[in-house]
């Protein structure tokens, strides 16, 4: 039986076998799909449309990181952050904002970082890796 290997461009070998679980929670289907595509080589990444759905999907396994869309936060209310920290205590949160104004508002929340659109593979991976402890000395709040 021949084993097939997939080429992962721009992924360190140690990260491709390290299993960090990431939930992309956003009501915007396009943003969810883009982030999932950007992160799936280095992480076990799941697209989810709401926080209640994420809480149900967690099953008994640890969730390391949640990328939470700003619009989802606004639609579901700020109590959703409390729900995440209570139900998914190991998960760090990065807010995905559409503008610098939204990012400023997000920076006041108790979260691990902010991503601002437009999103690039490099900026998303860099920030996610920093928040997951893979890049020492990186400031996850700095807009790239």
Q: What is the pLDDT of residues 79-127, one digit of tens each?
A: 899 999 999 999 999 999 999 999 988 878 889 999 999 999 999 999 9
Residue 94 lies in a domain: yes
Q: How confident is the model at residue 71 (pLDDT cuts 50, 70, 90)?
A: very high
Q: How far is it, in rounded angstroms, from Cα 98 to Cα 55?
A: 24
User: Which residues lie closer than 8 Å to 27 by C-beta, 6 or more apart?
Assistant: 49, 50, 69, 71, 72, 75
* Mean pLDDT within 30-55: 95
Angle at 127 between CA 124 and CA 132, to 5 degrees: 120
Number of domains in the chain: 1
Q: What CATH number has the domain bearing residue 54? A: 3.40.50.2300
96 in any annotated domain = yes
Give me the domain span that covers residue 108. Answer: 19-129
116 in any annotated domain: yes
Per the domain annotation, does 11 fall within a domain? Answer: no
* Share of residues in the chain with pLDDT > 70 (%): 81
101 assigned to some structural domain: yes
102 within domain boundaries = yes
In a domain, 14, yes or no: no
Residue 65 placed within a domain? yes
The pLDDT, as a whole number, for residue 108 is: 81
Average pLDDT, the chain: 85
The answer, yes or no, to whether residue 135 has pLDDT greater than 90, is no
- Angle at the Cα of 104 (from 82 to 83), degrees rounded to 5? 10
* 63-84 residues labelled b (16+ CB within 10 A) or e (exposed): bbbbbbbbbbbeebeeebbeeb
Residue 88 to residue 86: CA distance in whole angstroms = 6
């Amino acid at each position: 039986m021949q084993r097939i290997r997939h080429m992962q461009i721009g992924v360190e070998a140690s990260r491709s076998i390290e299993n960090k679980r990431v939930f992309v929670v956003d009501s915007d289907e396009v943003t969810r799909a883009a982030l999932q595509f950007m992160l799936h080589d280095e992480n076990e990444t799941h697209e989810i449309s709401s926080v209640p759905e994420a809480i149900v999907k967690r099953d008994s396994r640890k969730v390391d990181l949640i990328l939470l869309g700003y619009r989802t936060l606004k639609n579901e209310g700020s109590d959703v952050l409390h729900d995440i920290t209570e139900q998914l205590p190991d998960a760090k949160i990065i807010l995905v904002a559409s503008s610098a104004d939204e990012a400023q508002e997000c920076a006041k929340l108790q979260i691990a970082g902010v991503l601002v659109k437009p999103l690039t593979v490099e900026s998303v991976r860099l920030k996610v890796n920093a928040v997951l402890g893979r890049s020492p000395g990186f400031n996850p709040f700095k807009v790239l």
